[in-house]
Structure formats: structure tokens, C-alpha cells
Amino acid sequence: MAQAGSHSAAGQMTGYLYQCELALLELAERSWDDITLEVRMEVLDDIEFLYQDTRDPFVLLQSKHRENAGRLSETGKDFWRSVASWIDALTALGRLSTGTMPLLRLVTTQVAAEGTFLHQLRPGDGRSVDDALAGMERVAEAAEPGNTAKDRKKFTDLTPAQRYRLVTAIEINDASPLMSDLDSSLARTLGIRPGQHARAILDDIKGWWYGMAVELLDKNRTRATVTAQELQCRLEETLDRFAGKNLPITETLRRLTTAEIAAYKDDLVVAQMQWIGLKDRSIATHLRNYHYARAQRSAWLRNFKITEKALEDYERLLWDEWDHVFTRHTDAIEDDTPAAERKAAGKRVLDDTMDKVADMPARPGSTTEAWIGRGTMHSLAGRAQTADDDESVGWHPDYPDLCQHHNEQPGQ
């Protein structure tokens, strides 16, 4: 891990995260006015906004995060590299001399001091394109500083008409919120009211957004844009999950890794499935439900969304459904019933139980996911201990005795 100091990448990393979260905040702000808006990143600029019926951006946005805000420099890299980036983008779009110009925004946590051309490019009553252009030309034509010479030359190489056209489109949004302040801004913009679930709702939206950002930034461009409509739909879905009696579903099913599956190989929950002859592929599918249902129940308990008592009540309802199924399918099993028939009966118990419990929510009236009930049922099967356990659960007709032997150590 990099240590704080001259070689620390913390500031650069914060800048990347700031760009990502600023794009979400800007999309959220615009989504209330036009649901057809789209955002993309790192194509022509840091952040770009487009309309669905065009492929050209109407906003090109440069984001600059500085933890120690201070003043935005007229001669500094933040501004002049932004200008150079905009010139390259406008050249690619063919907009330097003709056509509709996109808005060129520099969003920075630094402050544009009064009397500078940067301050004259802020939106509002004090904006003066003519004065700002004169100031930019004066700085651009100076010999120093050397670290922005190439960027400034791109500006001086433009024709006077192109310079004026460029500067007219520039807008400086200074004193923007720091990274640490973006969450509160985003929550207000999305209309997330302070309350019990506010943090969880915001975390859900941000988690979804970072997944979208990875696709936007993937070198293969697996996703071109994210729309304002997608954001609003995600927001509505998230709010619905946390509304009223609903228990929030915060886990997302994914295929378990080989290592995750292997971690359960000696557990009773796996043995219960092996006793009825399930193959590894089927066991892995059931383990996925078991794994994520455990994680979801733990999250509910940890975040005080449900009590231990309520979960116990839920488990008793599931047990009752299993008991009816188990009795129906094993009633005809006798001492001399062949092993193959016993296994087949166990498979029917498992399949019918999974179907029964799939639609049973952990809280009456709450929405649910099928894997919650199925996975919880496997948790009950994983707790079975002895033949005397009246609340045990299993699939094989002889599971109580098999469980007892499962707990015996080799050599006993």
C-alpha cells in the first residue's frame, strides 16, 4: 500500500472517484428535467452529456478535485489542460468554427478569485467574455510557465474568431463540493429524505452506479452511455424495496466461485444433498441460495431490519411447509424400500419444498426473492443434529440417522 507522502496516489485516486461521483450527481440533477439525457465518461472529455436523438455531446465537463481548495490559478495546469482538452474535442466534433457549440464546463473545488479572467467566466452577473478573452490571451502568450506551454499554444494557434467562440462556451463552476460533501448533495438531489433507510438507499444507488461506471470505462466499451431514465428507474426500485413493510433486498445473486463452494464441502447442508444423489452442478445451485440467504438475513439483523424472534417465526413457517411435503413423500417408505427409491423420494421432498417456500416472505406483506426462502430452508437442513431433534429438516427419508453418523468423527 502506498504511504502518505511524495509518492502517495491518494489525491489522484480521489480525483478519479470524484469524477465518477460527480457524473452521478450531475445526471441526477438533470434527470428531473429531461429523462432522455445520457451520460458517458472518458470519450471526448471527463464527463459528457448527450441527448438520445443525437450522438454529439451538448456538455463537455472537466472535473478537478483539490482537497486543499485554495485559488484556481490563471497560469495553472487545471485550467489550461482543460482548454487543450476542449480544443481537441471540438476539433474531433468539427465545432471550432461552425455548428452548435457544447457548453464547456470546468467544475473545480478551488476558488476563482475576483479580478481574474477565471472569475469572469463564472455564470452570473459578473460574467464578461470579452474581458476574460483578453486575460486569457495575455497569459497564453507569456513565456512562462513552461509546464503549460504546449496547452497554451493550442489556444494561441486558434484564429481570433475560434478563440472567441471557444471562450464564449466556457463556464467555470468553482468552489464545488469536496468529495466528502457529495453524498449529502446527491441525497438531496435524488429526494432521499433523512430517516431510517436513507444511508442504505444511497449506498444502493451508488453501488449500482459504480457498476455502470465500470462498464462505461471498460476498454471494450461494453456500455456506451447511462440514461437519466435508468437512474430514475433504479431510484424508484430502491425506494420501493425500502418502503413500508418491505425488507430491503441488498444481496445480489452471483455464481459462487470454486473456492466459495469448496468452503462448504464438509458442511451438513452439502451432505444432506449428497445423500439424495444430487450432482455437483445441482449442489452448487442450491448452495448459491444458501450462501446469499445467510448473508441477507445477517444484513437484516445487523441493520435492525428484523429481529431474531421474527426470523425464528419465519423459520417455523418454512418448517411446517417442509413437514407436510416430507410426510407426503416418505409415508410409503418401508424398512425394505430399496436405496434408489429412498433417494428418489428425497429428491421429491427437496424439489417440492423449494417450490413451496419460494414465495414465502420473511415478513408478512413484504416483497421477497425466491432464494430467500430456499436458502433459509437449506440453513435449517444444515442445523439438523440428531434423530431426537423434533425441529430438524432433511431430504432423505433416513436423514435423522444419517445426520447422527455425519457428526461422528472417523474411528468412532
Q: What are phi and psi of 111, to 5 degrees?
A: -110, 130
> Under a CB-based contact definition with an 8 Å cutoff, are residues 108 and 174 in contact?
yes
Same domain for 152 and 14: yes
Same domain for 175 and 47: yes
Residue at 90 is within a domain: yes
Same domain for 351 and 202: no
Last residue of one domain, picked from the residues 177, 208, 238: 238
Residue at 47 is within a domain: yes
Look up residue 361 and give its DSSP letter: -
Residue at 341 is within a domain: yes
Same domain for 213 and 281: no
Same domain for 226 and 323: no
Residue at 5 is within a domain: no
Same domain for 269 and 215: no
Residue at 329 is within a domain: yes
pLDDT, tens digit, 9 for 90 and up, residues 341-359: 999 999 999 999 999 999 9
Same domain for 264 and 227: no
Same domain for 275 and 173: no
Mean pLDDT, the chain, integer: 91
pLDDT for 7: 46
Q: What are phi and psi of 106, to 5 degrees?
A: -110, 110
Q: The pTM is what?
A: 0.65
Q: How far apart are CA 288 and CA 282, in angstroms?
A: 10
pLDDT, tens digit, 9 for 90 and up, residues 245-271: 788 888 989 999 999 999 999 999 999
Domain extent for 109: 10-238
Last residue of one domain, picked from the residues 203, 238, 273: 238
Same domain for 111 and 175: yes
Last residue of one domain, picked from the residues 180, 204, 238: 238
Residue at 412 is within a domain: no
pLDDT, tens digit, 9 for 90 and up, residues 87-132: 999 999 999 999 999 999 999 999 999 999 999 999 999 999 999 9
- Residue type present at position 33: D
Q: How far apart are CA 186 and CA 67, in angstroms?
A: 19
Strand 59-64 versus strand 47-51 pairing type:
antiparallel
pLDDT, tens digit, 9 for 90 and up, residues 45-62: 999 999 987 778 999 999
Whether the predicted pLDDT of 6 surpasses 60: no
Residue at 400 is within a domain: yes
Residue at 98 is within a domain: yes
Look up residue 13 and give its DSSP letter: H
Same domain for 263 and 160: no
Structural domain count, the chain: 2
pLDDT, tens digit, 9 for 90 and up, residues 396-412: 999 999 998 886 644 33
> Under a CB-based contact definition with an 8 Å cutoff, are residues 67 and 14 in contact?
yes
Same domain for 34 and 160: yes
Same domain for 43 and 82: yes
